[in-house]
Structures are given as C-alpha cells and as structure tokens.
Amino acid sequence: MTMQVLKAFCLDSKPISCERYGCGHINVTYLVVTESGRRYILQKINNSIFKDVPGLMGNIAAVTKYLRKIISDPRGVLTLVPTTDGADYLQYEDGSFWRVYDFVEQSLCLQAPESADDFYQSAVAFGTFQQQLKDFPAETLCEVIPNFHNTVDRYRIFKEALAADVCGRAASVKAEIDFALAREQEAGTLVNMLAEGKLPLRVTHNDTKLNNVMLDEATRKPLCVIDLDTTMPGLSLYDFGDSIRFGAATAAEDEKDLDKMVMDINLFETYTKGFLSACPGLTENERDMLPMGAKLMTLECGVRFLTDYLSGDTYFRTHYEGQNLDRCRTQFKLVADMESKWDEMKRIVKECE
C-alpha cells in the first residue's frame, strides 16, 4: 500500500524501498529510498489522536514555509514534498492521511542525551525555534488539541473526574488529591497572565523531547526540530517547562521509588542557558516565569495522570494497574522538589541575563 501512496507524491525518481523507521510513538514512519539514492520520510498521520488533519497540516505548512524564508541551510527546516496535485498531504482512498518530508541527511536523532551537551543542544534547538518564530502571527494557527496546556481547564476536568469517581479510587489517593488542590490557585498563574496580556501568545512546539531534534552528525549541533504535529498557539513557557519536566528529571516517569525522582538543578541550569542563549527575544515576564513554567507544566502533567487514574485510565496507555498513579506521584514529587529549589532556580535564570 505504501508504494501506491508514494505514487501520489512528487519524488525525484521511482521509489525502490519503503521500510518502517525510527522510534516515534504517534505516527507510522517509513524511510523511502528512490532509484537515484535519494531518501525521504513517509508518514501515516495518526488521525485518532489528531482529529483535524487538514488543520494540523495547515499549521505545519505555514510554519515551515515561514522558516524556509529565513533559514538558508536546506537541513535547517523540515521540507514537505508536495503531491502531484500540489497538496501538502494525501488522503488515501481508505481515508488514511499521508505526508512526505525530505530526509534530513547527515544527522543524528538521539533517544536520550549521551552528555549534558546533548541536552544543552536540544535547548538551543527549541530556543532557536521560538526565536525564529517570534514574529509569526501565532493566532493564525489552529489549536490542534484545544486547551492542551490550559491548566485551569485541566483542573476543571480533574474536579469533574473527582466528583464522578467512576472507579471508586478517590478515597485511596487523598494525599495526591490534596496536593493538587492545594496548588489550584497557583496553577492559573500563566493562563491568567496570558489573558491579562502580560505574556505574549507564541508559536509553541509542545513535544520538546530530544528525539524531536535533529543534530548535525559532524558537529553534534542542532539542525532543526521535527515532529511539528502539536505546533500551535501557546506560551514559550510551555515548551521550556515541559523540557525541564521531562529532561531534567532524574528518574523515569513511572518510577516507584520516589527518592530517585528529583529535578537535577545542574540540568535545569544547562537547559536554561541553552534556551536563553538561543532565544534572546523573550520578554522580561517570560524570563521571570521560566521556573513557574517548569513547575506548572509538571503540576499539570501530574494532574492529568491523576485525572486519568480516577477516570479508569482511558487516555494515557498503561502497562500495569496503577501506572498512572505512579506517574502522577513522580510528577508531584518533582513539583515538591522544585518548590524546595525555587530560590536557586530563580537565581540561575537571573544569572543568565
């Protein structure tokens, strides 16, 4: 079927192979090689997670077109290969959605940092993405997943799940519920600042993991960020915060031994330095709120895991009973750890000025 799909795209010559590729969790990715030896990435877009594929592809096309005008290196931005009809994606006869990108050659895509510098370079990559898009009209992009980081709305859904308590689990997780509720007011900080015009609406990536950055094989410096599916209007602090939540944590998201889970302050410093060096265009309020971004993205994620636990694990895939509760606990442990390191986090941000 993939060979049929490929016929609809303007490749340089006939495709001779098409094999599953990479370690992504969302889309189905293939490496395509043509007769000339040229390589492409073919992806079947996950339209059960992404309900509005035309909207999503419109975002990717607009953002990459904008970046293409300001970046000269061909590997510096993802390049969509058009269909023979001149479209950015194909809806195949069975209803599935497909797109093709030029393969980013001579690159590395790491699953985990091999050194602190790899983490630093991922910060540079996402900081650069933010900086390059600082004048892009973010409000013209569609909200691929509505209210994705609207922490206030996430609390509303959490409280609904708590009231419904469909699995009868609430009584056994009182400590976690109390932890979340004690921070409800603070959880609205960023959303409120956005509403009051104190933080600018930006283009955000929303999946700032290391394996969404392509590094130059020779220099190990960033070439571009990939996986633009969740690119939408948001706050710069969402991208910064989620990177810290995931990348500066010392244990896995579902670690049971909470003593192992803290925020590594050195990694916080490494990421902050990389992000700010690449993104000098942040406003003073944005810079001031970087620690808050880290804390609230972590709190929000913990609340989402707790909500899913209370609702019977319907959103996040689980591999064992109670995994979402374990995930919630690591996130709340990280939040508590950030609270204990708050002054240091603030100092690090100040020292980067």
Binding positions for ligand ADP, rule: CB under 6 A? 21-27, 29, 41, 78, 101, 103-104, 109, 211-212, 226-227, 229
Residue 301 contact partner, candidates ligand GN1, Mg ion, ligand ADP, none, CB within 5 to 8 A by sort of partner: ligand GN1
Binding footprint of ligand GN1, residue count (CB under 6 A): 5
Q: Pick between residue 32 and residue 187 the one whose CB is nearest to ligand GN1.
A: 187
Shortest separation between residue 79's beta carbon and ligand ADP, angstroms: 8
Residue 22 contact partner, candidates ligand GN1, Mg ion, ligand ADP, none, CB within 5 to 8 A by sort of partner: ligand ADP
Closest CA to 213 of 124, 100, 80: 124
Token pair belonging to 141? 């992009």
* Dihedral in degrees, nearest 10, Cα atoms 303, 304, 309, 315: 180
- The helix/strand/coil state of 81 is coil
Shortest separation between residue 28's beta carbon and ligand ADP, angstroms: 8
CA dist 261 and 335 (Å) reads 10
**Burial level of 44, CB count in 10 A (0-12/13-18/19+)?**
middle
The letter for the amino acid at 58 is G
Q: Pick between residue 26 and residue 251 the one whose CB is nearest to ligand ADP.
A: 26
Q: Is 225 in the site for ligand GN1 (CB under 6 A)?
A: no
**Burial level of 200, CB count in 10 A (0-12/13-18/19+)?**
middle
> Which residue(s) pair with 16 in the sheet?
none
CA dist 231 and 69 (Å) reads 18
Q: Pick between residue 43 and residue 212 the one whose CB is nearest to Mg ion.
A: 212
- What is the side-by-side strand order in the sheet with 213-216? 107-108, 213-216, 222-225
* Dihedral in degrees, nearest 10, Cα atoms 235, 70, 275, 203: 10
Q: Is 317 in the site for ligand GN1 (CB under 6 A)?
A: no
Q: Is 301 in the site for ligand GN1 (CB under 6 A)?
A: yes
Token pair belonging to 277? 């060096």
The letter for the amino acid at 104 is V
CA dist 295 and 20 (Å) reads 37
Residue 218 contact partner, candidates Mg ion, ligand ADP, ligand GN1, none, CB within 5 to 8 A by sort of partner: none
Q: Pick between residue 53 and residue 90 the one whose CB is nearest to ligand GN1.
A: 53
Residue 78 contact partner, candidates ligand GN1, Mg ion, ligand ADP, none, CB within 5 to 8 A by sort of partner: ligand ADP
Shortest separation between residue 272's beta carbon and ligand ADP, angstroms: 25
Residue 101 contact partner, candidates ligand ADP, Mg ion, ligand GN1, none, CB within 5 to 8 A by sort of partner: ligand ADP
Q: Is 25 in the site for ligand GN1 (CB under 6 A)?
A: yes
Q: Going residue by residue from 249 to 268, which x/- string records binding to ligand GN1, judged by CB under 6 A?
A: ----x---------------
Q: Is 207 in the site for ligand GN1 (CB under 6 A)?
A: yes
Cα 45 versus chain centre, distance: 16
CA dist 310 and 101 (Å) reads 40
Q: Going residue by residue from 30 to 69, which x/- string records binding to ligand GN1, judged by CB under 6 A?
A: ----------------------------------------
Residue 253 contact partner, candidates ligand GN1, Mg ion, ligand ADP, none, CB within 5 to 8 A by sort of partner: ligand GN1
Q: Pick between residue 239 and residue 253 the one whose CB is nearest to ligand GN1.
A: 253
Shortest separation between residue 307's beta carbon and ligand GN1, angstroms: 12
Enclosing H/E stretch for 270? helix 265-278
Shortest separation between residue 23's beta carbon and ligand ADP, angstroms: 6
The letter for the amino acid at 159 is K
CA dist 42 and 39 (Å) reads 10
Q: Which residues bind ligand GN1 (CB under 6 A)?
A: 25-26, 207, 253, 301
